[in-house]
Structure 1
Amino acid sequence: MPRTARTGWRAGLTATALLTAAALVPAPAHAEDVTDYAITVDPSARGAAIDDTMYGVFFEDINRAADGGLYAELVQNRSFEYSTADNGAYTPLTSWTAGGTAQVVNDSGRLNARNRNYLSLGAGSSVTNAGYNTGIRVEQGKKYDFSVWARAESGSTLTVSLKDTAGSLATARRIAVEGGWTKYKATFTATRTSNRGRLAVATAHDAALDEVSLFPRDTYKNQPNGLRKDLAEKIAALQPGFVRFPGGCLVNTGSMEDYSEASGWQRRRSYQWKDTVGPVEERATNANFWGYNQSYGLGYYEYFRFSEDIGAMPLPVVPALVTGCGQNKATEDDALLQRHVQDTLDLIEFANGPATSKWGKVRAAMGHPKPFHLTHIGVGNEENLPREFFARFEKFRAAIKAKYPGITVISNSGPDDAGAIFDTAWQLNREGGVDMVDEHYYNSPDWFLRHNDRYDSYDRTGPKVFLGEYASQGNAWRNGLAEAAFMTGLERNADVVKLASYAPLLANEDYVQWRPDMIWFNNRASWNSANYEVQKLFMTNVGDRVIPSKATTTPDVSGPITGAVGLSTWATSAAYDDVKVTSADGSTLLSDDFSGGAAQWRHSGAGDWSVQDGQYVQTDTAAENTMVTAGDPAWRDYDLRVKATKKSGKEGFLVAFGVKDTGNYYWWNLGGWNNTQSAVEQAVDGGKSTLLTKAGSIETGRAYDIRIEVRGRQVTLFLDGQEWGRFTDDKPAEPFRQVVTRDARTGDLIVKVVNAQPAEARTAVDLGGTRVASTARVTTLAADQDAVNTETDAPVTPVTSTFRGVAPKFTYTFPANSVTFLRIKQG
């Protein structure tokens, strides 16, 4: 249904004029019948039931989310296990400064078989730890618990102190040490607040140290080996229905071999839960996929305990012995696969078994005799080899179902929202009768605005969807708005989408491997992103059932695809030649064989472009997105032809069209994703999404003939004279979205509306005759689309108010760039 009243005169305006007009034209004095949108609710229809576990959180040890983050340990590299296997810049003394004689030793005198390194200190020597970020954070009057495993001759003494450049931060402690490896403890009370503290341990005699630790006494719920309180409280405030752990790429990357004495307890091992339980000093450290060391101090027991503490369902994910995240390897070692299957069965026993069972006894010894009530488990993560993955997944599922038939076993659909891997994985999952499929995607805000209806057409009788990782590409308010619009579609399809979690959860601002992230922090503070505020608003106002509703839409004024053309590379050297652009009527718009140089091309700055032997060549194999462009941004309805040759590097080459500027374009990415697939991607305001994808690679040294035909909003692509694919980009980025749910506990109708445009939306709301109270409790998030929450400023913050004009039919004006929830009591 078109927008009412004003639609006629607005329909012919450009997008800019449309928004400007909407902002400038005031509502008439008697404008009750003049509205921009209409929402119609049908209370007689039965919508999808929404599970209590609909929304949850996804935790991965990325961006220092665990050590230096949620895990409250303040000492970095506490067991001297850092290695070049973790990071090329690491040594066993990374984060430590030694005074006097200090040497990291790995010999038979070690603390235990897994904690192999220890520090040998000479008499009169000391070591000082710098912690994370700017240093160790302590607050005046608060207590901090120190511990160390030490070995020394009888009569030896350790002096332990907290200090910064201004002096002491607490009274020093003297610890008498004698004999073999023993754990010693002390407590500090901070006399000053500092963000730059250092922990120093000095010895008057020869001594050996390991597991040097400092914890704030005030951890979340005062748990031992606990969590940083402010971060845990922010997660708890979301009221998540589940916690997915221990990660995504972290799960199924690294070596699939076992630890052994012969390998020196080799690192870069895939994440295995048994490495992470038991006494912390006996847990094996490991190389983190994201480029640092993971201590496993935050392990499976702590994940289960945290889930229980916040009332969330635990949802662990185990490796399926098929790598993903840009790696393509599947184990052929059946004995190793069976061992992992048994490890998964043991994990379920650890979580749910009685305290008398083998692994239930381990849980009980750690302090939790009662079961953790595990009901769901994921197998694998973003595998690029769907058939190899599914063959192994079936072995896990068969074993789990045979012993624990009540467990929901979750499969996945690879790393993208569409394409050959996705389609094959879903076909196998459907044919195999899988319980649930984990989908992942990170796309532009524009993609999320366009795909609100993604799950409308999913098979209602097939596997359910676990949307385990999703986010639009940024932490500005425009990203939060787009995600909110998409979430209304998730709720409308709650019979298909049973679980959903934004990802990633945490980012230490000084150790970032991935953006965007939900919660940001440093050693002294934490703050909510705009995306967090959206998630919290939805997660704390879910409701129990969808009440079917419809809304009018915004006129589509997108017009044909227009733009210049471009050439680019990504971690590759490539050569281009014979570029020709002709209009639909056959006239030549651009012709360049580079015999006279490259004067027609504009270079954005990245990469090293030059004309060599009559070709335009980019030679920097480390540079990413080296785009050069030519032509007019107003071009439309044209053919682009070019010859491209990969010379060296990781990927293929990229040919762009519809180029408006550096952040808005389309490109055909041939040989992307480490030269494993090709795709058409669209960039909108810098965020990219995939429109079409196929598996395949590009050969080095071979010249490819490329032709791209643009007609209106339809694009056809030809490779070496053969049609490679086509698409029509005609799906509007609808800025006005809504969903209505009912909360059985309170009796509220919850009207949830997203207005992702810089103009207010006066809206007629028809509740279908439902008797309601005259007031509504309103929560609004509204800000400029470019607004970003920081440590010192939070422009995206919820505002609560009361609206006193509710009736079975009423009008409400939703602010520009806003997410609004109205909780209305039914009469």
Structure 2
Amino acid sequence: MVRRGSRLGIAAGVTALAGALVAAPVVTLPASGQTAPAVTDYTLDIDPTARGPEIADEMYGIFYEDINRAADGGLYAELVQNRSFEYDRVDNPAYTPLTAWTTTAVAGGAGSAEVVGDAGRLHERNRHYLKLSLDNPAGGAYGVTNSGYNTGIAVEGGERYDFSVWARTDAGSTPLTVRLADGTGELTARPLRLDVRGAEWAEYTGTFTATGDSTTARLTVAGGGSGTLALDMVSLFPRDTFANRPNGMRKDLAEKIAALDPGFLRFPGGCLVNTGSHYGYEAPNWERARSYQWKDTIGPVEQRATNANFWGYNQSYGLGYFEYFQFAEDIGAMPVPVVPALVTGCGQNRATDDPELLRRHIQDTLDLIEFANGPVTSEWGAKRAEMGHPEPFGLTHLAVGNEENLPDAFFERFRQFRAAIEAEYPGVTVISNSGPDDSGSTFDRAWELNRAADVDMVDEHYYNSPQWFLENNNRYDSYDRNGPRVFLGEYASQGNRFGNALAEAAYMTGLERNADVVRMASYAPLLANEDYVQWQPDMIWFNNHESWGTANYEVQKLFMNNVGDRVVPSEASPTPVVNGPITGAIGLSTWNTSAAYDDVTVTSADGEVLLRDDFSGGDAQWTHATGAGSWSVQDGAYVQSDAGATNTMVTAGQASWSDYDLHVKATKRAGQEGFLVAFGVRDTRNYYWWNLGGWNNTRSAVEEATDGAKQTLVEDGTRIETGREYDIRVEVRGRQVTLFLDGERWGGFTDDKVAEPFRQVVTRDERTGELVVKVVNAQDAAARTRIDLGDDVRVAPVARLTTLQGDPEATNTAGSRPIRPVTSRLHSIGSTFTHTFPAHSVTFLRVRTVPAR
């Protein structure tokens, strides 16, 4: 999940990344400076008698990763946070074993609390438990109170909630009082009275019935009498889970996911799969932390590990591989697990050189397939049956690895995984990947290796600007029809505004048109708890008591509920757009770096000097565009001295400049990265910059920012040395840019792609006999469209319409849902008819046809 659009690498922190990825509206057309007409005319020719590519049943699915508290505090319905006292500072500096807990004296009770990890623990993988030393000979009780997630534990009046705890006592018998109260202390359910007996661990259970609604409830567990009381696995579960599963899913979130009608479920990640804990693949002490391994996540929940999540918090594994398979089955989705290839991705670059560890992980993967598909007489099939599912889950696809940055090292290991799997399970498709970006050296090398090895399917990931999605609708038109198929496992534009969703919708028409190449696709990430965000945008947002689908969710749902069985060939006229030359001022910036700039010169193509500054007279020609950083003239150079500041851009010149050469000298003084030299600067959100030594000085690229969202136009592996002066020249001619570093041509590009706002695809629904005409109009103008179905079909006079329409800046929130589908009917249509698609809209038009007689 390395996201494009931010220059911050993983080492810079996922919190900063979340703030850097801002939403961006779709670029409206025609070109800047022109007034959009009220209506633009189009034609759409459809050939209902022709047969395009077949669309796979699993064309669209969901990608689930435990990010943004998607599991604990999210889809996993457990209401108690840190239920087994496993939080630790080694996993997160803010954690203690009693995070989310406070000690509580009830009715004058007394005692002390300590989290210990001695030999008396509940299970070897359940590493800690709570030891309460009680001193209540005259009454009262002492214990702990849990605050849940967000504002507290959410309960609904009249609903039942199942409590459980594992406990033991050295007092022979210890009375246990369990209370649910809201933030004011008012009870929200009648207290439970339990009696803990004996020195051996045992599970104690009870059920609350909530007497009212609360989003701020607290759960208190307190022991009376004297002696030592040990507690572990303190749990509170809503009885009403999705599909009524014990240890199941939060109903409202699961229902929103199920409503998408996904064809597949990819799980459990993502970056957490191949990066594991802070210790890497195997901790020096494996009990403290280890990478994500499926065997840790099955069996009785009290015997499962709790592990450090790559995204900065702990995951309990209460939502484990059995629950993932079961959830996929419940929503009718094909399960697609992802296993680590022992090569890191997501901003890290390591590969294991331990052959025994690699062999063990390959065997673990074979065991996983047996767990999913094996008979009850097999070792792992028997474990599945013990968990309540004797029938096989029917696993057919499995992915090895995720976003590896070392393609050769990854592929060496991938070959070994694939060979072992195909030898034992030839019916399972083994999915490879192409790294973290849509292009670049890693992407190219990975695809070269995948093609040469005749891999069945390659997982592509990219997170780009809305502009990129509008410009690259034809990305898969040129892919080899005889090569590996594409699994687009992660993609999104950089925001949850309707404008972002429109750009994604336009792009999805290209995915469907190329359904013979793109067999599977999933937006990512899926879920985000609004109070625990590591990354955005996300498809579904929630807190502890409500959830809401974004505009992106509505687009995904519309496409996923109306896929069709086969593409029907169609062709639409393009939008009349004229791309003028690249125009704009110039800029200098830094990112987590201190740098000095000198001898800035801008000359027109015919040699006229437009700007010259050697900073001998101060910095009067420069404007602080962002206000960030600390700029001053020092020793005849313009210096940004704050090595911790990000995007410190200063600008000079005119927004009307075109066809010019920018020449500047730059020296890195300190920090993590290099230089940012901007050109074509129209404002603080629209510009190009040459990012030399970006991404923690691992590569260099030219990025285009459109309304704040970025896309990469050209890149290589150039790194920047501290203390060395670099000679930088940018030559802009029309829409062609050539870049020179120290007198040598570094690279260039021609930015001539059109952000086409009018896109369409047509599919046939064999069950209903309908053509599904899918049209995206991502511009200010309405699209008056003449639709021609030809003379070889008869058309029913009434068609069904579903439309998403709104302001491109609109966002769905907990309290407002401006982007939602509107259904209607279109009357009096025939083989040729005209329909006007509203500005900023996605329209699905279902037309029933039969062959003409």
**Structure-1-length-normalised TM-score:** 0.95
Q: Which residue of 2 aligns with 1:108?
A: 119
Q: 2:215 aligns with which of 180, 195, 198?
A: 195
Hey, what's the Cα distance between the residues in 2 that align with 1:187 and 1:607?
Answer: 57
Structure 2: which amino acid aligns with 1:95?
Answer: A
Given the alignment, which residue of 102, 112, 117 partners 1:97? 102
Q: Which segment is superposed worse, 387-396 or 79-88?
A: 79-88
Counterpart residue identity of residue 131, structure 2: S
Residue 802 of structure 1 is matched in structure 2 by: 825
Alpha carbons 2:599, 2:664 under 8 Å: kept:
yes
Cα distance 1:432–1:17, how it changes in 2: closer, same or farther (>3 A)?
same
Aligned residue number for residue 165 of structure 1: 183
1:677-692 maps to which residues of 2 (within 5 A)? 677-692=699-714
Q: Which moved more, 1:535-544 or 1:284-293?
A: 284-293
SS in 2 for 1:184: strand
Q: Which runs of 5+ in 1 are unaligned?
A: 1-12, 24-34
User: Structure 2 counterpart of 1:475, which letter?
Assistant: N
Give per-residue Cα distances to partners, 1:247-269, cap 9 Å, x unaligned.
11111113676667x616132x3
Post-superposition offset of 1:44: 3.6
**Which string of whole-angstrom CA distances, capped at 9 and with x for unpartnered residues, describes residues 162-186 of structure 1?**
0013310101111100111111111
Q: Which residue of 1 aligns with 2:82?
A: 77
How far did 1:426 drift?
Answer: 0.6
**2:559 paired residue number:** 538
Q: Distance in 2 between matches of 1:322 and 1:499?
A: 24
Supply the distance in 2 between the matched residues of 1:165 and 1:450 (Cα, whole angstroms).
51
Q: Which deviates the most, 585-594 or 616-625?
A: 616-625
CA distance in 1, matches of 2:405, 2:342: 12
Which residue does 2:5 correspond to in 1? Answer: none
Moved more, 145-154 or 778-787: 145-154
CA shift for structure 1 position 235: 0.3
Q: Identity over aligned residues, as a percent?
A: 70
Secondary structure of 1:774's partner?
coil
Q: 1:728 to 1:316 in 2, by over 3 A?
A: same
2:174 aligned partner? 156
Q: CA deviation at 1:336?
A: 0.7
Per-residue CA distance 1:276-320 (angstroms, 9 max, x = gap):
111111111111111111111111111100000000000011111
CA distance, structure 1, for counterparts of residue 615 and residue 177 of structure 2: 72
Whether the 8 Å CA contact 2:585–2:651 is kept in 1: the answer is: yes
Matched residue, 2:31? 15
SS class of match (1:306): helix
CA gap 1:140/1:543 in 2 versus in 1, 3 angstroms:
same
Per the TM alignment, residue 239 of structure 1 is displaced from its structure 2 partner at its CA by 0.2
Kindly provide the amino acid, as one letter, of the partner of residue 43 in structure 1. Answer: P
Tell me which residue corresponds to 2:145.
Answer: 128
* 1:543-589: CA deviation from partner (whole Å, max 9, x where unpaired): 00001000001112231101111122222222222221111111112
Contact 2:164 2:206 in 1 (8 A): yes
SS at match of 1:125: strand
Contact 1:160 / 1:174 at 8 angstroms: preserved in 2? yes
The residue that corresponds to 1:633 in the other structure is 655
CA deviations on 1:596-636 (whole Å, 9 max, x unpaired) are 32222222122232333322222333332222222111111
Shift of 1:19: 4.8
Q: Residue type matched to 2:569 in 1?
A: P
Tell me the secondary structure at the aligned position of residue 168 of structure 1: coil
| TM alignment of 1:758-769, pairs within 5 A | 758-769=780-791
Residue matched to 1:117: 128
Structure 1 Cα separation of the partners of residues 143 and 637 of structure 2: 62
Please tell me whether residue 513 in structure 1 is matched to residue 531 in structure 2: no
Amino acid at match of 2:37: A
Secondary structure of the corresponding residue to residue 456 of structure 1: helix
Does 2:513 match 1:502?
A: no
Give the whole-Å Cα distance in 1 for the aligned partners of 2:760 and 2:273. 36
The equivalent of 2:57 in structure 1 is 52
Matched AA of 1:366: M
CA distance in 2: counterparts of 1:201 and 1:401, whole angstroms: 52
User: Could you say which residue in structure 2 is the equivalent of 1:274?
Assistant: 295
- Cα distance in 2 for residues equivalent to 1:706 and 1:279: 62
Indicate whether 1:145 and 2:162 are aligned.
Answer: yes
Which residue type is aligned with residue 788 of structure 1? T
DSSP 3-state at the match of 2:796:
strand
Paired residue type of 2:810: A
Question: Contact (CA 8 Å) 1:742, 1:748: kept in 2 or not?
Answer: yes
Structure 1 equivalent of residue 245 of structure 2: 223
Q: Which amino acid in the other structure matches residue 92 of structure 2? A: N
| Structure 1 residue 427: Cα displacement | 0.6
Structure 1 CA distance, aligned partners of 2:120 and 2:455?
50
SS at match of 1:640: strand
2: distance between equivalents of 1:586 and 1:717? Answer: 18
- Is 2:633 aligned against 1:617? no
2:575 partner amino acid: T
Residue identity matched to 1:155: S
Which amino acid counterpart does residue 182 of structure 1 have in structure 2?
A: A
- 1:401 is displaced (CA, Å) by 0.6
SS in 2 for 1:704: strand
The alignment status of 1:471 with 2:492, answered yes or no, reads: yes
Task: Give the root-mean-square deviation of aligned CA atoms.
Answer: 1.4
Given the two structures, how large is their TM-score scaled by the length of structure 2?
0.92
Give deviations 1:104-145, integer Å, cap 9, x for gaps.
111111111111111111214211100000000000000001
Structure 1 CA distance, aligned partners of 2:416 and 2:695?
29
Asked whether the equivalents of residues 58 and 247 of structure 1 are also in contact (C-alpha less than 8 Å), the reply is yes
State the 1:270 CA deviation: 2.2
Question: Aligned residue for 1:301?
Answer: 322
Corresponding residue for 1:182? 202
Q: Deviations over 1:757-780 (max 9, x none)?
A: 111111000012221101100000
2:190 counterpart letter in structure 1: T
- Residue-by-residue CA offset, 1:402-449 (whole Å, 9 max, x unaligned): 111111111111110011111111111101110000000111111100
2:835 maps to 1:812: yes
Q: Give the secondary structure class of the aligned counterpart of 1:398.
A: helix
Kept after mapping to 2: 8 A contact 1:259/1:266: no
Cα distance between partner residues in 2 of 1:716 and 1:352: 56
Determine helix, strand or coil for the equivalent of 2:360.
helix
CA contact (8 A) 2:182 2:217 kept: yes
Q: Distance in 2 between matches of 1:818 and 1:211?
A: 49
Secondary structure of residue in 2 paired with 1:488: helix
The corresponding residue for 1:781 is 804
CA apart distance, 1:807: 0.6
Which residue number in structure 2 is paired with residue 556 of structure 1? 577
Structure 2 CA distance, aligned partners of 1:314 and 1:724?
Answer: 45
2:193 maps to a residue whose letter is: R
- 2:371 corresponds in structure 1 to 350
Cα distance between partner residues in 2 of 1:128 and 1:550: 63
The residue aligned with 2:73 is 68
Q: For 1:412 and 1:536, how far apart are their aligned partners in 2?
A: 26
For residues 611-664 of structure 1, give each alpha carbon's deviation from its aligned partner in whole angstroms, at most 9, with x where no partner exists: 333222223333322222221111111111112222222222211111111111
Please show how residues 202-281 of structure 1 align to structure 2 within 5 Å: 202-204=222-224, 205=226, 206-254=228-276, 263=285, 265-267=287-289, 269-281=290-302
| Structure 1 residue 212 displacement after superposition | 0.6
The corresponding residue for 2:306 is 285
Give the structure 2 partner of residue 744 of structure 1. 766
The residue that corresponds to 2:357 in the other structure is 336
For 1:532 and 1:66, locate their aligned partners in 2 and report how far apart those are by CA, in whole Å: 19
Give the distance between the partners of 1:355 and 1:609, measured in 2 at CA.
Answer: 69
Deviations 1:652-695, CA, capped at 9 Å, x for gaps: 22111111111111111112222211111111111111111212
